[in-house]
Amino acid sequence: DLLCVSHDLSSIMNEFAELYCLKEGSVGPPSHYLGADIAKTHTATGVLCWAMGSHSDFTNAIRIVNGYIQDSGREFRKSGCPFHTVNYHPELDDSPLLEPQEIARYQELIGILHWGCELGRLDILHQVAIISTFLAAPRQGHLDEVYHIFSYLEMAGSRCLLFDPSVPECDVVFPDTTGLEKFYEVDGEPIPDDMPLPRGIPVLMSCFADAS
């Protein structure tokens, strides 16, 4: 894959097209990056911003996990909580330890959930962090909770992060805001017609960082 960042993309891509055979329809705005779905959209206030989500990544993972659940002959209730109950304490779980094959599956699914958190699923961040502490010796109850998290993801639907470039209203006093305002100036570039739409419920994020 080739990721090109420039104010004049056409001339650069045309030059590449003269040197290499590019797949038809492959040149356009980015739709995926490092496993994440990315797109441009507008916030509720009309500010143009980038959006990042994990719809594609989790869609395939949920399908695989549903196959695991079906093979086990069990059924997990889809609820509004990643764990089967808000009072679940994995450190008190005394269910049988998993066999080596199931441990490998547990570790694989935890890795998928970790990457999903990196891609913006902040709603499962706490649960994944807790259940990840049992990678060395997971129990059947821990694996069941991982299945519950995937069932929750299927029920809850997609989410996406909106990276708002606007300077937030805060009490930080800057010596000279001229450069700051220019750096955070909103780009008036229109969204390309072939740019994919972000999928999922938007969660607004700010790109602003106070380094003082």
pLDDT at residue 179 tops 70:
no
Task: List strands edge to edge, sheet with 159-164.
Answer: 32-33, 36-42, 48-53, 159-164, 201-206
As given in the structure block, the two tokens for residue 24 are 């038809």
Reported confidence tier of residue 110, pLDDT bands at 50, 70, 90: very high
What pairing do the DSSP bridges indicate for beta strands 159-164 and 201-206? parallel
SS3 for 182? Answer: helix
Report which listed range, 24-28, 100-104, 116-120, is most confident: 100-104
pLDDT of residue 99: 94
The structure's pTM equals 0.69
What phi, psi does 161 have (nearest 5°)? -95, 135
Q: Cα dist. 135→53, 115, 117, 205 in Å?
A: 26, 16, 17, 31
Q: Cα separations (Å) of 140 from 64, 102, 135, 158?
A: 19, 9, 12, 28
pLDDT of residue 48: 86
Those residues with Cβ within 8 angstroms of residue 140's Cβ, 6 or more apart along the chain or in another chain? 95, 96, 97, 98, 102
DSSP-H helix ranges across the chain: 9-19, 55-72, 100-118, 125-131, 140-156, 178-183
Q: From 99, 82, 92, select the one nearest 145 (Cα to Cα).
A: 82
For 52, the token pair is 């990042």
Is the pLDDT at 174 greater than 70? The verdict is no
Q: What is the pLDDT of residues 128-170, one digit of tens each?
A: 999 999 999 999 999 999 999 998 888 888 888 888 887 767 6
Q: Which is nearest to 61 in space by CA: 105, 96, 17?
A: 105
The per-residue pLDDT for 143 is 92
Read off the pLDDT of each residue in 48-70 and give the average, rounded to a whole number. 86
Is the predicted pLDDT of residue 97 greater than 90, yes or no? yes
